Amino acid sequence: MSGSNGNTDPVILATAGYDHTIRFWQAHSGICYRTVPHPDSQVNALEITPDKQLIAAAGYQHIRMYDLNSNNPNPVINYEGISKNITGVGFQEEGKWMYTGGEDNNVRIWDLRSRNQQCQRLFQVNAPINCVCLHPNQGELFIGDQSGSIHIWDLKTNNNEQLIPEQDASIHSISIDPMGTMMAAVNNKCSCYIWTLTGGRGTDPTKLHPKTKFEAHSRYALKCLFSPDSTLLATTSADHTAKIWRTADRTLMTELRDNTQRWVWDCAFSGDSQYIITASSDNTARLWSVDTGEVKKEYSGHQKAVVAMAFRDEIVVH
């Protein structure tokens, strides 16, 4: 960590949702140390920039960037001019550009080094976009839409491929493991799909090989996420649970269930893959032990559903 910024804690945990605030937490104590107003809309997605200087909040028709290392309550950068909800946001690993996807059927690339805050590239599909996932090779975007299509947009060649795992089943979330060897997707029909990936290096495009499909939940699956060590896959659902699956044999390792928990919208693993944080409609985020399924900490203070979170606990060395 650079000593010059005000945030000496290498851990950043932020949550947001329908109460028009972004809350920042001390992950170990559960104390909320900063609340930032986001008055224009709910927050659909949160992401922290790779250098840990800013956090992006995706809302209705805009993306707002807030400073992580000051107490300035106002956004420092605003991206406007988009219709409908932005549902996904993420960053290229060196922070050169940001990608967003939304219900206007468009994926946008924004050059973060440019001052004009205009979208540089646009990729349009035929249905509202629920999720966008960047391959670890930083050259391909995987896009899931409400019609059930997964689109693969090759940023180097501008080619695109498309597959439909299940007809008329909205793709809610896509995750690629950090090694770039597996991809998972979940849909509104409770299904989780897993592919093995080959290629994706140099000019060679990624190829998908269907591996398995299983019923992950009893109601909509909302999010899937591989652990940093690639050994686990988390899925979250409208059935009030999150589940941790072993990627080696796709067996269920832990079910994360709490009496007051409702829809589980988002999740994030700790850097050591030992803990997971979930965001739920009961206005609460929770830190769980991956092994035991025990709640280690609750983050309560939001007045409405928590649907988005961002968590970074690895130390960045400048």
- Mean pLDDT for the stretch of residues 273-278: 97
Checking if the pLDDT of 220 tops 50, the result is yes
What is the phi/psi pair of residue 308, to 5°? -140, 145
* pLDDT value, residue 118: 86
- In this structure, the number of other CB atoms found within 10 A of the CB of residue 280 comes to 25
- Chain position carrying tokens 């996932």: 133
Task: Say which residues have a Cβ less than 8 Å from residue 267's Cβ, sequence separation at least 6.
Answer: 223, 225, 234, 236, 242, 276, 277, 278, 279, 309
The Cα–Cα gap between 35 and 40 comes to 15
- Mean pLDDT for the stretch of residues 58-77: 96
* pLDDT value, residue 114: 85
- Mean pLDDT for the stretch of residues 232-256: 97
The Cα–Cα gap between 63 and 77 comes to 8
- Listing DSSP states for 256-312 in one string gives EE-TT---EEEEEE-TTSSEEEEEETTSEEEEEETTT--EEEEEE--SS-EEEEEEE
- Chain position carrying tokens 């709490």: 258
110 Cα distance to chain centroid:
18
pTM: 0.95
| pLDDT tens, residue by residue, 48-64 | 999 999 999 999 999 99
Strand order across the 54-58 sheet? 45-48, 54-58, 63-67, 77-79
* pLDDT value, residue 10: 78
Coarse DSSP helix, strand, coil percentages of the chain, rounded to the nearest 5 percent: 0, 50, 50
Strand partners, 52: none
* pLDDT value, residue 60: 97
The b/e string for 152-168 (b: 16+ C-beta within 10 A; e otherwise) is bbbbeeeeeeeeebeee
- Listing DSSP states for 237-249 in one string gives ETTSEEEEEETTT
The CA-to-CA distance between both ends of the chain, in Å, stands at: 6
Checking if the pLDDT of 318 tops 50, the result is no
The percent of residues in the chain predicted with pLDDT above 90, rounded, is: 91
Taking CA 180 as the corner, what is the angle to CA 92 and CA 216, rounded to the nearest 5 degrees? 105
Residue 53 near residue 67, CB atoms below 8 Å: yes
The encoded tokens of residue 305 equal: 């559903």
| pLDDT tens, residue by residue, 89-127 | 999 999 999 999 999 999 999 999 988 888 999 999 999
* pLDDT value, residue 8: 56
The encoded tokens of residue 261 equal: 């928990």
- Mean pLDDT for the stretch of residues 137-164: 97
The encoded tokens of residue 58 equal: 């995706």
H, E, C per residue of 5-70: CCCCCCCEEEEEECCCEEEEECCCCCCEEEEEECCCCCCCEEEECCCCCEEEEECECCEEEEECCC
